[in-house]
Structure 1
Amino acid sequence: MPLRFAVIGCGAIARMHLEAISGIPEAELSIVVCRNEAKAREIEKEFGCRIVKDPIEAATDPGIDAVDIITPSGSRRDIAVAAAGAGKHVIMEKPLEITTDRVDDMLRACEEAGVKCAGIFQFRYKPAWIFAKKAVTEGYLGRVVLGDAYNKWWRTQEYYDGSSWRGTWELDGGGALMNQGIHAVDLLQWIMGDVTEVYANTGTLAHENIEVEDTAVATLRFGSGALGVIEGTTSVYPGYPMKIEIHGTKGSLIVSGDHIVDFQSAVAPAYAFEEAGRLHAPVVTMSTASDPAQVDCTWHRLQIEDFVKSVLEGTEPLVSGREGRKSVEIINAIYKSARTGAPVKLPL
C-alpha cells in the first residue's frame, strides 16, 4: 500500500512537491491544502487529489499517512505538532522552522509519537556535493583549514512586494540567509562538521519595506579547528551560483551550482580524479540564482523517495529533523551575533 500524503500549502514551490510525490510509485498524493480557489481547481483536475482549506484538518485526516509541509517557514510548527499527534510522518521544506525552539517543539512531538521527521535539503543528493563530503571524510584534502560558502543571488523588489510573508521576521524568520542561503549553510556544515562559533554583520542594502537582511557576512570556527566564511545576499545582480570552497593542507575543492569547478590533491587516488572529472564544468550557471521558480523536481523526488523508504523500512532519512535543525541553529547564531556585535558560541 502506498504512503498517502497530504501536501500542506500551494505556493510557488508546490508544483515541485506535487510532481515529485506523484512520480513515486510507493507514494500517493491524497490531499492538498489550498485556499486559492482557482489554483485549487487546477490542482484537483491535474492531480486527482482532494482539496482541503484547513491545514490542521488535512494534517490529522485519518486517510493519510504523512504530511509534506510547504507553508511559510514560521507557520509550520503547529501543523507538524498536530500531524505527529495524529500519528502522521512529517517532511517539510527548508528551513524546518524559524527558530531552534520551534524546531525542537516539532522534533519532540515526532519523537514522542514515534513518527519520522525530515527536512527538504535536496542538494545533499547531488553528485558534486556528495563528492565534496567524501573528499573531506576520505582525506583527499589533508587537514582541512578553510571552508567557505557563498550564496550571492538576486531578488527583485517585486519578489518581496508580491508576498505578505517574505521579508518578515514572523514568517520568513530572516532574509538572504534563512530563506535563500540556508542550502549553502546546510551543505557547509554537512561537509565541514559542527560550527562552534560565529561572528557576523548583516544589513538591508538593496531592498525596501522588508524587516530582514538582504546581505550577510559571517566568519565561522568549526569543531575541527578550521575557519570559514559565509556570505549570503539577494542584492547581487544578476545573481551567481551557490559556491563552496574547501581548502586543506593536501588539496582544494571548489563546487559551484551542481558542478566541480576545481579539484586539486596531492594524495587522492586516481579514481577520485576520474570521478571529479565527470562532475566538472568550467562555466556554471544556476537559474534559481535570479529566478526562484526555476527548479527541477528531480532532486525533491529523490529526497521524498528516501523519506518514503525510511517510513516503509523503518530506517532514518538522510536529512532527518535533527540534521535539518543544524542550519537553523547556525543562522540563529549569526543573527544573534549581528544584533549584539559579539561572537556567539554554539550550541545556543
Structure 2
Amino acid sequence: MANGRLGIGLVGSGMISEFQAEAIGDLDNAVVTGFFDMVPELAAARAEQFDRKAYGSLAELLADDAVDIVSICTPSGSHLDPSLAAAAAGKHVMVEKPVEVTTGRIDEIIAACRDNGVTLGAIFPRRFFETSRLLKAAVDAGRFGTLSLADVAIKWFRDQAYYDQGGWRGTWKLDGGGALMNQGIHGIDLIQWIMGGIETVCGQVATVAHERIEVEDVATATVRYKNGALGVIEGTTAAWPGSKIRIEISGSAGNVVMEDETIVQWEFAEPSPEDEEILEKYGPREGLSGGGAADAKAIDTEGHRLQFDDFCGAIQAGTEPYCAGIDGRAAVSVITSIYRSAREGRIVQVD
C-alpha cells in the first residue's frame, strides 16, 4: 500500500476488467497496478488504455510488492487456480461473480484465503444499491408481517453473436451454466440474500432461442425459502429487448415491487414516516444506472465502485467486507441445485 491506497492487479483483460478499472479509478483508497491475461495482447491493450503495467505472467503480478489485492476477471470456470495462487502469495482476493461454477470449487477458494489470512470478496454490485438495502431492512424488521411470496424475474436478451464470441460463453466448463449462472445470478443472489436463504428448489431449464451453446437460455424454478415463504425464479437471455430485474415480495402486512434500482410499489399495513420519502427518492425516475438487460456492456460502474470502496476500506480497517467470499457461495448453490432438480425431475435441497 502506497500513500494510503491499496494496489489492485487485475487477472483477465476482457470486458469486465474495463468496468473494474474504471470503477477503481474513481476511488481514493485504491489504484490499479496493472493487468495480466493469458493472451498478452489483451493485457497490453488494457494496460495502454489505463496507462498501467502489463504483466507478462501471473507470477510476475503476484511478485509485485505494489499489489495488495488480486481481482479475478477471467471466465467463470477458471477462477479457482488464480485465486488459490493469489491467496498463497499473501494477496487479498476479489472475484467476479460467480466466484466459481461449483460450490466445491468455491469452498477451495474460501479455505485457501482463510488459511493464508487474506480477505476474500465476491462481487455482487446490486447488494450495494440503496434500494436493495432498504428492501432487506424492511424484511428483517418484520414489516411484511408473515412473508408469503418472493419472486424474481431476470428477463434479459443476448443475441447469438454474444455467445459466439470468446469461445467460452455458453459452455458448462467455463460459463458454468447459462441464463441463470451468468445473468440470472444477479437477481437470484439478491432475492436469497433479502429473504434469508433458500431451502428447496424445483426447476426446469431449456435452450429455445440460441444455437451452439451447451447451456440453458431459459429457466424457471419454484422455491421454498428458509423462512417458510414460497416463490418463483425466472431467468432467460431470450426475452427481447430485455427487461429490468423485477423483484416482488408479499406478506400479510406489506407488498413491495422493485425493478432494478426503482421502487415501483412500497406499501405496508402499518406505514412508517420514511415511506413517503423512500417512494419520492426511489420511485420511477430518470438517470438510473444501466442494468445490462439488453447489452452486456451497458452497465454502470457505480455498483463496482461502491463494492471496491467497501472491500478496500474493510482491509484497511481489519474488518469484514459487506459482501465477503462466503456470500458468493449461496447463489451458486441455488443455481446448481436448480440444474440438478431439472436433471432429476424432483425437488432438491439447497446445500
Query: Considering the TM-score relative to the shorter chain, is it more than 0.5?
Result: yes
User: How would you bin the TM-score normalised by the shorter chain?
Assistant: over 0.9
Q: Give the aligned partner of residue 131 of structure 2.
A: 128
1:60–1:83 contact (8 Å) kept in structure 2? no
2:333 pairs with 1:333: no
2:299 pairs with 1:305: no
- What secondary structure does 2:342 align onto? helix
1:240–1:285 contact (8 Å) kept in structure 2? no
| Match 2:75 to one of 68, 72, 75 | 72
How far did 1:35 drift? Answer: 4.8
2:276 pairs with 1:273: yes
Q: Partner letter of residue 101 of structure 2?
A: I
Q: Could you tell me which runs of 5 or more consecutive residues in structure 1 were left unpaired when the two chains were aligned.
A: none
- What secondary structure does 2:13 align onto? coil
| Match 1:255 to one of 236, 254, 258 | 258
Q: Give the aligned partner of residue 175 of structure 2.
A: 172
How far did 1:107 drift? Answer: 0.2
1:60–1:82 contact (8 Å) kept in structure 2? no
| Match 2:320 to one of 316, 327, 342 | 316
| Match 1:186 to one of 189, 201, 208 | 189
- What secondary structure does 2:275 align onto? helix
| Match 2:222 to one of 216, 219, 223 | 219
Q: Give the aligned partner of residue 292 of structure 2.
A: 288
Q: Partner letter of residue 51 of structure 2?
A: G
The one-character-per-residue Cα deviations of 1:75-99 (angstroms, maximum 9, x if unpaired) are: 0101101100110000011000000
How far did 1:162 drift? Answer: 1.2
How far did 1:21 drift? Answer: 1.5
Task: State the TM-score, normalizing by the size of structure 1.
Answer: 0.96
How far did 1:145 drift? Answer: 0.8
Q: Give the aligned partner of residue 98 of structure 1.
A: 101
| Structure 1 residues 74 and 56: CA distance shift in structure 2, 3 A | farther
1:20–1:297 contact (8 Å) kept in structure 2? yes
Partner Cα distance (2:202, 2:294) in 1? 28
- What secondary structure does 1:188 align onto? helix
Which range is displaced more, 182-191 or 264-273? 264-273
Partner Cα distance (1:60, 1:132) in 2? 43
Partner Cα distance (1:287, 1:20) in 2? 16
How far did 1:269 drift? Answer: 0.8
1:7–1:70 contact (8 Å) kept in structure 2? yes
| Structure 1 residues 285 and 241: CA distance shift in structure 2, 3 A | farther
How far did 1:45 drift? Answer: 3.1
Partner Cα distance (1:37, 1:113) in 2? 29
Question: How large is the RMSD of aligned CA atoms in angstroms?
Answer: 1.7
Moved segments of 4+, more than 6 Å: 282-285
Q: Give the aligned partner of residue 231 of structure 2.
A: 228
Q: Give the aligned partner of residue 28 of structure 2.
A: 25
- What secondary structure does 1:207 align onto? coil
| Match 2:201 to one of 198, 201, 207 | 198
Q: Give the aligned partner of residue 346 of structure 1.
A: 350
Q: Partner letter of residue 231 of structure 2?
A: G
The one-character-per-residue Cα deviations of 1:18-58 (angstroms, maximum 9, x if unpaired) are: 11122212112112113555554443334232102433542
Which range is displaced more, 57-66 or 79-88? 57-66
Which range is displaced more, 25-34 or 192-201? 25-34
2:34–2:54 contact (8 Å) kept in structure 1? yes
2:179–2:219 contact (8 Å) kept in structure 1? yes
- What secondary structure does 2:274 align onto? helix
Task: State the TM-score, normalizing by the size of structure 2.
Answer: 0.95
- What secondary structure does 1:206 align onto? coil
How far did 1:273 drift? Answer: 3.0
Q: Partner letter of residue 240 of structure 1?
A: S
1:197–1:221 contact (8 Å) kept in structure 2? yes
The one-character-per-residue Cα deviations of 1:167-197 (angstroms, maximum 9, x if unpaired) are: 0000000000000000101000111111110
How far did 1:60 drift? Answer: 4.9
2:154–2:235 contact (8 Å) kept in structure 1? yes
Q: Could you tell me which runs of 5 or more consecutive residues in structure 2 were left unpaired when the two chains were aligned.
A: none
1:219–1:227 contact (8 Å) kept in structure 2? yes
Which range is displaced more, 18-27 or 176-185? 18-27
Q: Partner letter of residue 61 of structure 2?
A: A
1:198–1:221 contact (8 Å) kept in structure 2? yes
Q: Partner letter of residue 331 of structure 1?
A: I
Partner Cα distance (1:224, 1:51) in 2? 49
How far did 1:279 drift? Answer: 0.5
How far did 1:118 drift? Answer: 0.6
Partner Cα distance (2:20, 2:91) in 1? 18
- What secondary structure does 2:216 align onto? coil
Partner Cα distance (2:219, 2:141) in 1? 32
How far did 1:263 drift? Answer: 1.2
Q: Partner letter of residue 12 of structure 1?
A: M
Partner Cα distance (1:60, 1:328) in 2? 31
2:290–2:299 contact (8 Å) kept in structure 1? no
